[in-house]
């Protein structure tokens, strides 16, 4: 009787949980709707950029015009925003909707108690919830990016620069980190709030706050606190500008926008204001990939840090909590 349980088995409890969670997501209507939404925006922005790709690559005044595939991702005729801008507000939605009921739905339906009465570690439950959604999102983004590359290759026949591939993969990785942040935030909310609706609404509230209101609030505060710019020296204006940018960068979507813009537009050399002295002598040419990464490294580490912070908080809240339905 005793030895029956310790028999070696095919899969660890964690991988079984991952499998089940992923199957749940794939079968859920929610995920299908979100995928459709993202695929549609992707197709729409690709269509617009493809129809404008000729003028974009012919424009020799743009130092980035040789990067056809990056242009495919960023070109637009201003009728709709490019894909990475779309993603900056769709990705939070994706993260929130995949995570907002991770824990509380199980708790309310009484399955969490049963699950935790099995010989599994508690953190594995959280990790499986987080990991399963993230794997699906990664696969989705990677598939989109690769199909874009493949499609571009077929349609234009232009050879791809290795740098472009790296940048596009970098963009995919950034998007995944960005979703990961919102996902872990949503999981924290699902632990804090017992009702799934409350946690979804507070997640969406935070998202709206950061995308819409945060900049307005920062601008309002700055305007009332800041001295009259006319009375300041250019140096002081620069310092104040830096401070304002730093405040804006608390918002995760600002970090994502900064990072993706630099990643997809190789000629972007700085994401803050630059003085004329800094600019003088610079040839408007694309930066190598590693340099672009260096420019946005603070943004990347900021996003990873925020994700890890949220995830740690969810551990802290969940590990010692009493599980009762």
Partner 1 sequence: MEDPIIQIKDLSKSYGSFRAVEGLNLNIHKGEIFGLLGPNGAGKTTTILMMLGLTEPSGGTVHVGGYLSAANPIPVKKIVGYMPDSLGFYDQMTAMENLMYIAGLNGLADAEGRKRALEMLDTVGLAAEKDKKTGVYSRGMKQRLGLAEVLIKKPEVIILDEPTLGIDPSGVKDFLSLIRSLSREHGITVLLSSHHLHHVQQICDRVGIFVKGKLLAEGNIESLSKELFGHEGYVTSVQVRQHIPNPWPLQNELMHWDGLRKMSIRGKEVEFTSSQDLTAELVRFFVKENYDVLSVHQKDYGLDEIYHKYFEGEQG
Residues of the shown chain interacting with partner 1 in the complex, contacts defined by CB under 8 A: 1-2, 4-7, 9-11, 13, 16-17, 20, 24, 27, 109-111, 113-121, 320, 322-325
Residues 6+ apart with CB under 8 A from 287: 266, 267, 268, 269, 295
Closest separation in Å from C-beta 13 to partner 1: 5
Q: Which is nearer to partner 1, 118 or 224 (CB)?
A: 118
State the angle between helix axes of 29-58 and 83-99 in degrees (0 to 180), rounded to the nearest 10: 170
Q: Which is nearer to partner 1, 6 or 78 (CB)?
A: 6
d(CA 310, CA 186): 9
Tokens 């695929």 correspond to 39
Q: Which is nearer to partner 1, 105 or 158 (CB)?
A: 105
Closest separation in Å from C-beta 99 to partner 1: 18
Residues 6+ apart with CB under 8 A from 303: 174, 177, 178, 181, 252, 255, 256, 259
Closest separation in Å from C-beta 136 to partner 1: 17
Closest separation in Å from C-beta 135 to partner 1: 18
Q: Which is nearer to partner 1, 17 or 180 (CB)?
A: 17
Closest separation in Å from C-beta 33 to partner 1: 16
Q: Which is nearer to partner 1, 7 or 159 (CB)?
A: 7
Q: Which is nearer to partner 1, 12 or 219 (CB)?
A: 12
Q: Over the range 64-83, which residues count as b (16 or more CB within 10 Å of their CB) and which as e?
A: bbebbbbbbbbbbeeeeebb
Token output for 234? 């250019």
Q: Which is nearer to partner 1, 17 or 255 (CB)?
A: 17
Closest separation in Å from C-beta 18 to partner 1: 11
Q: Residue 117 gets which letter from DSSP?
A: T
SS3 92: helix
Closest separation in Å from C-beta 11 to partner 1: 7
Contact 144, 42 (CB under 8 A): yes
Tokens 């690559």 correspond to 57
d(CA 217, CA 214): 5
């Amino acid at each position: 009787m005793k030895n029956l349980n310790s028999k070696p088995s095919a899969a660890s409890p964690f991988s079984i949980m991952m499998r089940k969670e992923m199957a749940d997501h794939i079968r859920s209507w929610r995920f299908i709707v979100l995928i459709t939404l993202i695929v549609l925006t992707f197709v729409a922005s690709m269509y617009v950029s493809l129809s404008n790709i000729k003028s974009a690559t012919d424009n020799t005044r743009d130092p980035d015009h040789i990067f056809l595939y990056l242009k495919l991702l960023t070109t637009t005729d201003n009728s709709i925003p490019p894909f990475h801008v779309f993603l900056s507000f769709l990705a939070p939605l994706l993260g929130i909707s995949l995570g907002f009921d991770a824990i509380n739905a199980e708790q309310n339906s009484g399955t969490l108690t049963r699950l935790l009465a099995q010989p599994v570690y508690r953190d594995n439950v959280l990790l499986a919830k987080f990991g399963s959604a993230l794997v699906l999102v990664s696969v989705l983004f990677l598939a989109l990016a690769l199909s874009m590359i493949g499609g571009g290759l077929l349609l234009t026949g232009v050879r791809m620069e290795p740098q472009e591939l790296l940048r596009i993969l970098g963009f995919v990785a950034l998007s995944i980190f960005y979703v990961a942040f919102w996902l872990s935030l949503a999981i924290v909310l699902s632990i804090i709030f017992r009702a799934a609706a409350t946690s979804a609404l507070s997640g969406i509230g935070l998202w709206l706050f950061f995308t819409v209101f945060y900049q307005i609030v920062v601008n309002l505060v700055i305007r009332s606190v800041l001295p009259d710019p006319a009375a300041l020296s250019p140096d002081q204006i620069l310092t104040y500008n830096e401070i304002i940018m730093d405040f804006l960068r608390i918002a995760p979507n600002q970090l994502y926008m900064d990072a993706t813009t630099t990643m997809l537009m190789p000629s972007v050399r700085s994401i803050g204001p630059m003085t004329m002295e800094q600019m003088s002598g610079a040839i408007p040419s694309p930066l190598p990939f590693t340099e672009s990464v260096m420019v946005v490294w603070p943004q990347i580490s900021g996003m990873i840090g925020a994700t890890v912070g949220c995830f740690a908080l969810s551990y802290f809240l969940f590990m010692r909590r009493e599980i009762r339905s």
